């Protein structure tokens, strides 16, 4: 065990738990991992998140990069390792599953201003900026065998185009579309769609995932010439930031490194080298950008190394060995 791993084991309970399971390969049912998990579930910060996401329906989603929205907090809880057996998860999931649209995608309450093509009223709807995140969280928390989760995955896969996932929304949102050319892929929609399907093992090696991954890598390859839907891969993209909410290097690498068949791709290797160059002399990583809504967490500052960001980087690098 190296010093960085020991530092992670001495960190917050959710970091210790992740390090034990994902870096040291300990079984979740083992005594040390189980004890860390119990401390994580009992921690006030985690309990506060659980309480907030449990208040369904959530407030209207008005912009998809709203880091304070409960949808992103649910995804973070799934990333921490919360599962169906944990208090409150099953009841919340049941409510989300009930809001599957007829075509399969999971819906949230949204409110789009008329100048963006919306009505200005609260309504249940889905878009490829949100539905894949709900699918990912449900699958990761243990609902992957639910028929509604499977239906949502089939619907999501069916929206793929040759160049990635588009800006697509439910019929209830009318002609809404993001600020980009209609024929372009939406980089963020492609990323979170890939993330959701990668969480379902039966889809991980599918043609849909291979096409989606190629779309993301092609965007990296052409990053100096293309910025579809205003999602670039420049200076801001390269900044380390948590939790994994938007379109940035940590989020992209977290998704792409789940595909073993990409391991030797030179474009992926370039992004991995970019990540590795950001480690300090002790192998730790410091956030370079933060979400104010998460200022109470170890990754909500830019002054010193973050155990959670370091764990994210270590997990990414471990998958590529």
pLDDT tens sequence across 47-56? 999 999 999 9
Given phi > 0 = left and psi -120 to 50 = alpha, else beta, which region is 198?
Answer: alpha
| Extended beta strands in the chain, E state | 108-110, 123-125
Asked whether 147 and 169 are in contact (CB, 8 A), the reply is no
Q: With bands split at pLDDT 50, 70 and 90, how would you rate the model's confidence at 176?
A: confident
Task: Find the range with the poorest average confidence among 68-72, 109-113, 302-306.
Answer: 109-113
Q: What is the mean pLDDT of residues 96-125?
A: 90
Q: For residue 118, what pLDDT is reported?
A: 72
The mean pLDDT of the chain is 96
- Is residue 197 within 8 A of residue 208, CB to CB? The reply is yes
How far is the C-alpha of 214 from the C-alpha of 194, rounded, in Å? 11
Per-residue pLDDT of 223-272, as tens digits, reads: 999 999 999 999 999 999 999 999 999 999 999 999 999 999 999 999 99
Q: What is the mean pLDDT of residues 1-5?
A: 87
pTM given for the model: 0.97
Strand partners, 61: 110
What is residue 109's predicted lDDT score, i.e. its pLDDT? 97
Q: Tell me, what's the pLDDT at 1? A: 59
How far apart, in whole angstroms, are the C-alpha atoms of residue 108 and residue 131?
Answer: 8
More confident residue, 1 or 296: 296
Q: What percent of the chain has pLDDT over 70?
A: 99
Checking if the pLDDT of 95 tops 80, the result is: yes
Model confidence at 117: pLDDT above 90: no
| Residues in Cβ contact with 123 at an 8 Å cutoff, skipping those fewer than 6 apart | 109, 110, 111, 172
Rounded Cα distance between 96 and 141, Å, is 13
pLDDT of residue 267: 98
């Amino acid at each position: 065990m190296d010093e960085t791993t020991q530092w992670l084991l001495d960190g917050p309970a959710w970091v210790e738990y992740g390090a034990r399971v994902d870096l040291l390969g300990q079984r979740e049912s083992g005594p040390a991992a189980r004890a860390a998990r119990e401390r994580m579930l009992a921690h006030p910060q985690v309990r506060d998140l659980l309480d907030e996401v449990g208040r369904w329906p959530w407030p209207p989603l008005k912009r998809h990069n709203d880091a304070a929205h409960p949808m992103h907090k649910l995804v973070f809880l799934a990333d921490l390792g919360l599962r169906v057996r944990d208090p409150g998860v099953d009841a919340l999931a049941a409510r989300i599953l009930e809001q599957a649209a007829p075509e399969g995608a999971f819906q949230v309450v949204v409110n789009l201003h008329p100048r963006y093509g919306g009505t200005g009223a609260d309504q249940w709807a889905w878009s490829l900026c949100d539905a894949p995140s709900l699918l990912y969280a449900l699958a990761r928390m243990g609902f992957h065998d639910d028929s509604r989760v499977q239906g949502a995955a089939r619907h999501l896969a069916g929206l793929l185009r040759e160049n990635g996932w588009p800006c697509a929304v439910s019929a209830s949102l009318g002609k809404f579309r993001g600020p980009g050319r209609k024929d372009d892929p939406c980089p963020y929609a492609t990323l979170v769609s890939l993330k959701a399907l990668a969480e379902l093992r039966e889809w991980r090696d599918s043609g849909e995932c291979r096409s989606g991954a190629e779309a993301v890598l092609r965007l990296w390859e052409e990053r100096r010439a293309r910025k579809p839907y205003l999602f670039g891969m420049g200076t801001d993209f390269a900044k380390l930031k948590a939790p994994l909410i938007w379109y940035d290097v940590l989020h992209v690498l977290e998704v792409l490194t789940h595909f073993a068949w990409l391991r030797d791709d030179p474009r992926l290797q370039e992004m991995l080298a970019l990540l590795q160059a950001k480690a300090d002399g002790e192998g730790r990583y410091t956030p370079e950008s933060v979400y104010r809504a998460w200022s109470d967490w170890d990754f909500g500052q830019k002054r010193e190394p973050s155990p959670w960001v370091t764990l994210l980087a270590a997990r990414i690098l471990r998958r590529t060995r």
